Chain A
Amino acid sequence: MEATTTYLRHDMDALVDAFAAREPAGLEGAYALWSRELYAVARSALRDGALAEDCVHDALLRVWRAPNRFEGNRPMLRAYLLASVRNEAIAMLRSRSRRDERERKARRLAEAPVDADSVADPVEAARVRDALGRLSQDQRTALEAAFYGYKTHVEIAAALGVPLGTIKSRIASAMRKLSVELAPPESGR
């Protein structure tokens, strides 16, 4: 499932260099490696195959044409691309929901799809489930509403009846705790 593990280090460096240099091979190589994850993120947010396709295409093309924050964090290209697709999906969701306020109100607060039959990466999903289980219930609820529910902190605070600052700190502290617990194999670079 995780294609990067079968890639030799210098292959990855060549790919990352090609991506940063805006060579078509960098974009194509990155997409070939991570297409399933990138698409799953967009599909999960947008729940529509055609929108998800546009989302992945537009997001990757944009960051490939203008890689900016990514320059200093080359080993993290995958995470950056996933975040870029997710941001694009969120922008699409919010512009759609502005057009249809009722739909927005009808949507549930958060839905952590960790019980889905088939997840994008079952091994990593199990680690994530364990790590989420070690957060406080308040932290977990707030973080899941943000990550899996695509809500802003204002929306989450309103839904839970909790002050804005409290929600911000719950989400941020949950993320920092997960960052330690989920320290990825590539950390330390």
Chain B
Amino acid sequence: MTGEHLGDEAELFALGALEDAERSAAARHVALCAACRERVAAAELVMASLAAAVPAAEPPASIGRRLRASARGGRPRNAGPFALAATVALAFVGLGSQTLLLSNREAAEDRALATIVSSHFNHVSAVARGDSGVSAKVLYARDGAWIFVIARTHESGTLHAFARTPTADVDLGALATSGETASLLVRPAKPIGTVVIKRGDTEVATATLNY
């Protein structure tokens, strides 16, 4: 098997339609053969289209939390903004120590956290631009009623959050800095699709919100 190309088995391999022994042999070949990898990848693109027809299902928020915890070594606590997001998440499951952390936040953040704790929300990590050194996350109400932008940065300079519209970036306000982290709660008139974080005129991170 490893000596010759997969032929029809490339598509069956992608589909998971081979029997166990065939599958192992195909996997060994694909690992070594660029031509067959390409063929498998082409099949995967078709499968991504076929997957559009499976029933819609709303993923539970716990998957994102578990992934983040796993990716960050099983204990999401070291990075400022992520610690805050994790704090909010953990508060829902009633961990006493995390609730204590909440009570130490400053007044503005207390108001933000009160809003967050009393509603259903999604969250998304912003994609950092270049070497901006900014990590950011946006928590947002599922109905679009509020967004909470949290950023961690090692550089000085006030960060502003903007809502990206087809015609312009609309300034939502400055993030209030407290130590290494900065945050801003916004209650927009209508749901915001894309949040851009800037320092001065420089874009440092972007997040796309899905409702």
Contacts and interface: CB of A to CB of B under 8 A. Distances in A.
Interface string B34-70: 1001101111111111111111111110111011101
Say what secondary structure dominates the interface of chain B: helix
A187 B43 CA distance: 13
Interface in B10-43: 10-12, 14-19, 30-31, 34, 37-38, 40-43
Contacts, number: 220
Nearest to A88: B16
Interface residues of A, number: 84
B16 A172 contact: no
B71 A28 contact: yes
A76 B44 contact: yes
Interface stretch (B125-133, B143-151, B155-163, B172-180): B125-133
Given A61-B71, A128-B49, A171-B12, A79 B63 contact: no
A138 interface: no
Given A38-B59, A69-B37, A79 B45 contact: yes
Say what secondary structure dominates the interface of chain A: helix
Interface centre among B10, B16, B60 (most CB of A within 10 A): B16
Interface of B: 7-12, 14-19, 30-31, 34, 37-38, 40-60, 62-64, 66-68, 70-72, 123-125, 127-129, 135, 193-194, 206, 208, 210
Query: Shortest 6 CB-CB distances between A and B: which pairs?
Result: A124-B52, A39-B59, A172-B8, A121-B52, A44-B54, A24-B71
